[in-house]
């Protein structure tokens, strides 16, 4: 649906050249929710702006629905852009227009007739749960309601792709949750492909099928969300993943525990969730597993069980126990104390 190949974008400033995007390749498939995560300055906004060509890449190719869009004539570019809706952290609503007009004004610039326009405003306000707010002004709405209006405005163009630029970053956790639910509903029920950028791992966790992690303009790791959770390799990715787990154990506690065996994080995905493997460890090996922390991480499609466990036993036995756990499909990370 969206294919970026070797995309680079640099800006010339008084201080020299800034390489905002550096040779990025990724593909967003039809019907999925694809997230791009990175810390501030990683290049996320520039990347998403390259997708709808608000920013022209310096190098590389951007293909939307099998069409190379980097060199399109203005009229054709407009046609492609109509397939792409966008929502922003700051909502971008017209303060002096009511909710109805905020949705209707962009539609009036297209060939949609009055009757169809009315129908669409009503339909999409219902989908976002604001059917009673036609006449309200943005100033009378909460942040979450404003974002719902912005979503209805984007949907009213009947796009095939929705781009989301930090759409929940200005919202409190509860409102964030409800907007993420709405994005999931839009993806499932309307079949709209969503590409979003965020700096919050909980957004990726809750709704993204796949994720790319960005740093210094590059994609440092990408894959299915479940795989990124279970076996991230880059330290920055691990930091993001760890941010959704419970707090780390205090260093002094860890130091003491490792005297008698390693401390490991076990991730149980798919079939491994239903096997009583930890109980087997204590019967099969001279090892006593001691659970230090645990929780369930609910991803869009899967559930991951995460346990931090101290394997109390001698070196050979704990090695065999770890090999056994891996054989049973359990992902093991943080065998070294520094990684836990
Ligand atoms: N128009 C511009 N002119 C010059 N430099 C720019 C421009 N836009 C972005 N940059 C620079 O490119 C780099 C990437 O910025 P970008 O906004 O894409 O990152 P980001 O990951 O979205 O960060 P944030 O979440 O803080 O917006 C930064 O160093 C930024 O200063």
- The full set of domain ranges for the chain reads 2-232, 251-339
Query: 35 near 221, Cβ under 8 Å?
Result: no
- What's the N-to-C CA distance of the chain in angstroms? 38
Query: Which of 18, 56, 90, 164 to probe ligand 1 with, by most ligand atoms within 8 A of CB?
Result: 18
Burial of 27 from C-beta contacts in 10 A (0-12 / 13-18 / 19+):
middle
Asked if residue 20 has its Cβ within 6 Å of ligand 1, the reply is yes
Question: Element (H or E) spanning 201, and its range?
Answer: helix 201-207
**Residue 155 clears pLDDT 60, i.e. is over it:** yes
**ipTM, 2 dp:** 0.96
CA 264 / ligand 1 centre spacing (Å): 37
43 CB near ligand 1 (under 6 Å): yes
Nearest CA to ligand 1 atom 25: 40
Which residue's alpha carbon is nearest to atom 16 within ligand 1?
A: 43
Q: What distance in angstroms lies between residue 179's CA and the mean position of ligand 1's atoms?
A: 25
Cα–Cα distance between 293 and 38 in angstroms, integer?
Answer: 27
| Distance from residue 328's CA to the centre of ligand 1 (Å) | 44
- Sheet containing strand 288-298, edge to edge, reads 288-298, 303-312, 263-269, 331-333
What pLDDT does 276 receive?
79
Beta strand pairing status for 288-298 and 67-68?
unpaired
Q: Is the CB of 50 under 6 A from ligand 1?
A: no
11 C-alpha to ligand 1 centroid (Å): 9
Cβ 12 under 6 angstroms from ligand 1: no
Q: Considering only 35-44, 130-139, 172-181, 268-277, which range has the smallest mean pLDDT? A: 268-277
pLDDT top residue among 93 and 308: 93
For residue 38, the ligand 1 atom closest to its alpha carbon is: 21
Q: Output 150 or 314, whichever has higher pLDDT.
A: 150
CA of 86 to the centre of ligand 1 (A): 18
Q: Which two tokens stand for residue 333?
A: 């990370």
E strands present in the chain? 2-13, 16-28, 33-38, 59-64, 67-68, 84-88, 161-165, 193-198, 210-215, 218-224, 263-269, 288-298, 303-312, 331-333
Rg of the Cα atoms in the chain: 24
251-339 carries CATH number 3.30.70.260: yes
Higher per-residue confidence, 315 vs 272? 315
Instruction: Find out whether the beta carbon of 11 lies less than 6 Å from any atom of ligand 1.
Output: yes
18 touches ligand 1 (CB under 6 Å): yes
> Which of the two residues, 278 and 214, has the higher pLDDT score?
214
Query: Cα(129) to centroid of ligand 1, in Å?
Result: 34
Q: Given this model, what pLDDT does residue 127 score?
A: 96
pLDDT confidence of residue 110: 86
Choose the residue to mutate in 41, 166, 169, 213 for probing ligand 1, maximizing ligand atoms within 8 Å of C-beta. 41
What pTM was estimated for this model as a whole? 0.87
What's the pLDDT score for residue 247? 60
Name the CATH topology of 2-232. Answer: Rossmann fold (3.40.50)
Sequence-ordered list of residues with C-beta below 8 angstroms from that of 211, at least 6 positions apart, any chain: 34, 35, 36, 37, 204, 222, 223, 224, 225, 228
Are the beta carbons of 314 and 286 closer than 8 angstroms? Answer: yes
User: Span 203-222, mean pLDDT?
Assistant: 97
Q: Which of 8, 12, 44 to mutate to test the pocket of ligand 1 (most atoms within 8 A of CB)?
A: 44
Q: What is the pLDDT of residues 4-48, one digit of tens each?
A: 999 999 999 999 999 999 999 999 999 999 999 999 999 999 999
Share of the chain above pLDDT 70, in %: 95
Q: Tell me if 37 CB under 6 Å of ligand 1.
A: no
User: What's 29's DSSP letter?
Assistant: -
Residue 195 has pLDDT above 90, yes or no: yes
The predicted-structure confidence for 276-319, as pLDDT tens digits, reads as follows 788 889 999 999 999 888 878 889 888 888 888 999 998 899 99
* 41 pocket-lining for ligand 1 (C-beta < 6 Å): yes
Would the CB of 46 count as within 6 Å of ligand 1?
Answer: yes
Residue predicted with more confidence, 52 or 5 = 5
Supply φ then ψ for residue 169, to 5 degrees.
-65, -20
Question: How far is the C-alpha of 147 from the C-alpha of 177, rounded, in Å?
Answer: 13
**Among 76-85, 152-161, 282-291, 300-309, the range of highest mean pLDDT:** 152-161
Neighbours of 28 (CB within 10 A): 24
Give the pLDDT of residue 101.
Answer: 96
- Region of residue 324 (left: phi > 0; alpha: psi -120 to 50; beta: else): alpha
Atom of ligand 1 lying closest to residue 13 CA: 4
209 against 333, higher pLDDT: 209
Split at pLDDT 50, 70, 90, the class of 337 is very low
């Amino acid at each position: 649906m969206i294919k970026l190949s070797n995309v680079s974008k640099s800006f010339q400033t008084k201080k020299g050249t800034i390489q905002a995007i550096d040779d990025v390749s990724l593909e967003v498939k039809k019907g999925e929710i694809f997230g791009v995560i990175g810390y501030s300055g990683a290049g996320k906004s520039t990347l998403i702006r390259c997708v709808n060509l608000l920013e022209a890449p310096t190098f590389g190719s951007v293909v939307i629905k099998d069409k190379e869009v980097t060199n399109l004539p203005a009229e054709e570019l407009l046609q492609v852009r109509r397939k792409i809706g966008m929502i922003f952290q700051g909502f971008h609503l017209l303060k002096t227009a009511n909710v109805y007009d905020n949705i209707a004004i962009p539609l009036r610039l297209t060939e949609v007739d009055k009757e169809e326009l009315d129908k669409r405003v009503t339909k999409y306000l219902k989908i976002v749960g604001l059917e009673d707010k036609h006449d309200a002004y943005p100033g009378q709405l909460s942040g979450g309601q404003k974002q719902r209006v912005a979503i209805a405005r984007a949907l009213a163009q009947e796009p095939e792709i929705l781009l989301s630029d930090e759409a929940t970053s200005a919202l409190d956790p509860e409102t964030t949750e409800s907007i993420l639910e709405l994005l999931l509903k839009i993806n499932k029920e309307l079949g709209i492909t969503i590409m979003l950028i965020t700096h919050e791992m909980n957004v990726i966790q809750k709704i993204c099928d796949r994720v790319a992690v960005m740093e210094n303009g590059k994609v440092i790791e990408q894959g299915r969300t479940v795989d990124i959770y279970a076996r991230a390799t880059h330290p920055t990715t691990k930091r993001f993943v760890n941010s959704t787990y419970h707090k780390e154990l205090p260093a002094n506690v860890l130091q003491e525990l490792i005297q008698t065996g390693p401390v490991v994080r076990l991730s149980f995905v798919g079939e491994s969730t239903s096997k009583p493997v930890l109980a087997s460890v204590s019967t099969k090996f001279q090892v006593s597993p001691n659970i230090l922390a645990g929780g369930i991480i609910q991803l869009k499609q899967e559930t991951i069980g995460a346990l931090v466990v101290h394997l109390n036993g001698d070196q050979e036995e704990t090695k065999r126990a770890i090999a056994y756990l891996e054989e049973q499909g359990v992902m093991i990370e943080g065998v070294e104390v520094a990684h836990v």
